[in-house]
Amino acid sequence: MTFRCPPDFLWGAATSAYQIEGSLDVDGRGESVWDVFARRPGAIEGGGDGSLASDSYRRWADDVELIASLSLNAYRFSVGWSRIMPDGRGRVEPRGLDHYERLVDALLACGVTPVLTLNHWDMPQALMADGGWIARSCVDAFAEFTTAVAGRLADRVEWWITQNEPWIIALLGYQLGLHAPGVRDLGASVTAGHHVLLAHGAGADVLRQHPGTRVGAALSLFPCDPATPSDEDAAAAVGSDGYVNRWYLDPLAGRGYPTDMREHYERALGRELSEIRDGDEDAIAGRSDFLGVNYYTRRVMAAAPPGPFPWRVVGPSGDVARTDEGWEIAPDSFRDLLLRLHRDYPFPLVVTENGGVFGDAPLHDGRVRDVRRQAFLRAHMRAMGEAMAAGADVRGYLHWSLLDNFEWSLGYRPRFGLVHVDYPTGRRTVKDSGRLYARIVAAGGLDGIEEDA
Ligand code: IFM
């Protein structure tokens, strides 16, 4: 099916500060948790770090030109937290704000709507003195950061994302220790996840003092399907959905934390969730003008022996299409997710991330013929169009990512970009998928370009 989106639809691409900027030691930037984590032996595949990344802190003007050349009308980026609050609290670094002000002004001058993320994981290391997100004081620190950025930019930036992927912060940062700050403690991860949501509420309260801003959090959402029709696998899928999706969606939507998951955590931890204090759920609720949807793949679930998690990911059976990272390419689940969110939750939706790893590099003629990313893009466009035709209120689509970049603990190997980056030289090459996306954006959808693209 082909489709055309409304004229004010946000068509864009997304990045984050630590993943693209490099220049970690300029303009008064403080150390971030990722600077420290990346120094741990073995923490990053290939041993890299974000010191160069896509070199976008220096090449920001070229990147704005690139965005405009692709006809995108929106760009999602994040503000490096430790560039603005080098000590975590107190002192604000004006040179950091100057940088993002230049970026925002240049985007606006090209007719590109900035979509600004506040926390895309690069918390100032100074906040680890209290325990990072395990400490409730981080909520105030985040509100200070929000106040500083909003004070400079809220007169020009309409779309604000407080937090990127609270579940991933809790899971990889505090439960499994695979991301900064490298903590491995289930209880700590529950506490951290709660504080991230509380900080969403606190940040939204700051932003609401600035008329005209729209605020949301971006959640990593994974539809959870049972591996078999058995009751046990169905229960595993419900449990996994609670763990990954509902635990974050429900409090944002004003329903409080889901009871089944609360009981699950209390059982698993052998304690009450006293970090969730009276009034906290109200402080998270009702503060989202939209929901950011980060969608990559689905989870296929089976029952596991009783334990902290009585469910396990078994993956799809059979020969399914996968990205180079092995993630199942599941556009139908994308459509179903958008429809479920529309049906069950009160938010307008913005797809704040969607993309895949395809490792294609420039060929003899310099061209990057990433045919699988093009197929991925077309399939996910089709799926989004079907969801919208069936009523889903989707206001934008921001592809992950504009550029190849530093993929956290996986280093520089996975390439998510519509634009190839040659890291040693910083040279950018628009991939064939980038050209296709530009055509989709110009057409406002797949109308008329599906067959020959
Ligand atoms: O690169 C990340 C991004 O920072 C957060 N969402 C998922 C992407 C791909 O793994």
Contacts of 124 (CB under 8 A, 6+ apart): 30, 31, 32, 33, 81, 82, 85, 86, 87, 88, 141
Give the number of the atom of ligand 1 that is nearest the alpha carbon of residue 120.
Answer: 4
pLDDT of residue 39: 98
d(CA 328, CA 326): 6
Residue 380's H or E segment, with its range, is helix 371-389
**Residue 142 DSSP SS3:** helix
| Site of tokens 């029709």 | 229
Q: Which residue's alpha carbon is nearest to atom 10 within ligand 1?
A: 407
First to last CA, the chain: 15
CA 432 to chain centre: 24
- Asked whether 407 lines ligand 1 (CB < 6 A), one says yes
Helical residues (DSSP H) of 39-158, grouped into ranges: 60-69, 81-84, 94-109, 137-153
Task: Look at residue 197 in the predicted model and tell me its pLDDT.
Answer: 99
Residue 120 alpha carbon to ligand 1 centre in Å: 9
Q: Is 294's C-beta closer than 6 angstroms to any atom of ligand 1?
A: yes
CA–CA separation, 216 vs 288, rounded Å?
5
Identify the residue whose C-alpha is closest to ligand 1 atom 1: 407
Q: DSSP H helical segments within 111-218, as ranges?
A: 137-153, 166-168, 186-207
Q: Is the CB of 280 under 6 A from ligand 1?
A: no
- Cα–Cα distances (Å) from 386 to 318, 345, 347, in that order, read 26, 19, 18
Rounded Cα distance between 353 and 271, Å, is: 35
pLDDT tens profile 319-335: 999 999 999 999 999 99
CA of 407 to the centre of ligand 1 (A): 7
Q: Is 31 in the pocket of ligand 1 (CB under 6 A)?
A: no
Bridge partner residues of 311 (DSSP): 303
Write the single-letter amino acid at 365: D
How high is the pLDDT of residue 426? 98
User: 198-238 pLDDT, tens per residue?
Assistant: 999 999 999 999 999 999 999 999 999 999 999 999 999 99
3-state secondary structure of 118: strand
Residue 338 parent element (H or E):
helix 331-344
Strands (DSSP E) found in 15-98: 74-78
Domain boundaries defined on the chain: 10-443
So which residues are the catalytic ones?
Answer: 165, 353
Q: Which atom of ligand 1 is nearest to the CA of 294?
A: 6
In the numeric block, which tokens belong to residue 434? 């980038």
Pairing of strands 291-295, 349-354: parallel
Low-confidence ranges of the chain (pLDDT < 50): 453
How far, in Å, CA of 338 to CA of 223, rounded? Answer: 10
- Pocket flag, ligand 1, residue 404 (CB < 6 Å): no
The atom number, within ligand 1, closest to the CA of 355 reads: 9
pTM: 0.98
d(CA 411, CA 233): 34
Mutate to test the pocket of ligand 1, among 21, 408, 415, 418 (most ligand atoms within 8 A of CB): 408
- What CATH number does domain 10-443 carry, 3.20.20.80, 3.30.70.260, 3.90.1150.10, 3.60.10.10? 3.20.20.80
354 lines ligand 1 (CB under 6 A): no
